[in-house]
């Protein structure tokens, strides 16, 4: 299935669990942790094979996944797994978790930004960028920095659906595209 199609199928489940999490006394963070645990398990190749076994009923598949995290899951989470399993959607857990995180970030007015640089970014530079983004986007910013020597210089900033490529590599690639 295409990634866009998976996202479309996962969206109602993500919205439903987000709504439950908003109304839950446990809150968004607990549900975020649960979904990330379940998504990680569903992404495991060996477990995915077991869950996809045609000899396994949907109830057994949900029970198998729930048994891995018995202490972390409440009855509502187990019911959610049961609904996913009965509809053959357990493999959507990583997509559902990602969409849940997006809904959570929108609700909390936060944004996760990935900053790739050819060289180590100083605290002062990171703080300057964080303040500029916070001012422009009116959201709290969480920056994750990585070093990518392939960029040659400059930075590559990624967030949700936006990419700002101010790297030397990006400029060279753009120039090469123009010259073709």
Taking only the tens place, the pLDDT of each residue in 1-25 is 667 688 899 999 999 999 999 998 8
Question: From CA 134, how far away is CA 125, in angstroms rounded?
Answer: 14
Q: Give the pLDDT score at 168.
A: 83
Around 67, how many Cα atoms within 13 Å sit in the side-chain half-sphere?
8
- Tens digits of residue pLDDT in 82-100: 999 999 899 999 999 999 9
Q: Give the pLDDT score at 1.
A: 60
Kindly report the pTM of this predicted structure: 0.70
Q: Phi first, then psi: what are they for 23, rounded to 5°?
A: -85, -10
Task: Report residues of the chain scoring pLDDT below 50.
Answer: none
Q: Give the pLDDT score at 74.
A: 92
């Amino acid at each position: 299935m295409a990634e866009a199609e998976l996202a479309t199928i996962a969206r109602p489940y993500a919205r439903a669990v987000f709504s439950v999490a908003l109304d839950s006394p446990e809150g968004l963070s607990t549900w975020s942790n649960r979904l990330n645990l379940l998504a990680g398990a569903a992404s495991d190749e060996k477990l995915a094979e077991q869950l996809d076994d045609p000899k396994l009923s949907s109830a057994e598949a949900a029970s198998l996944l729930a048994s891995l995290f018995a202490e972390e899951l409440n009855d509502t989470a187990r019911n959610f797994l049961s609904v996913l399993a009965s509809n053959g959607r357990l493999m959507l857990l990583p997509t559902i978790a990602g969409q849940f995180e997006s809904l959570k970030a929108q609700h909390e007015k936060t944004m996760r930004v990935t900053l790739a640089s050819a060289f180590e970014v100083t605290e002062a530079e990171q703080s300057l960028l964080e303040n500029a983004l916070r001012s422009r986007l009116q959201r709290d910013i969480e920056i994750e920095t990585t070093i990518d020597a392939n960029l040659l210089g400059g930075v590559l900033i990624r967030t949700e659906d936006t990419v700002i490529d101010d790297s030397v590599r990006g400029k060279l690639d753009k120039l090469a595209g123009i010259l073709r």
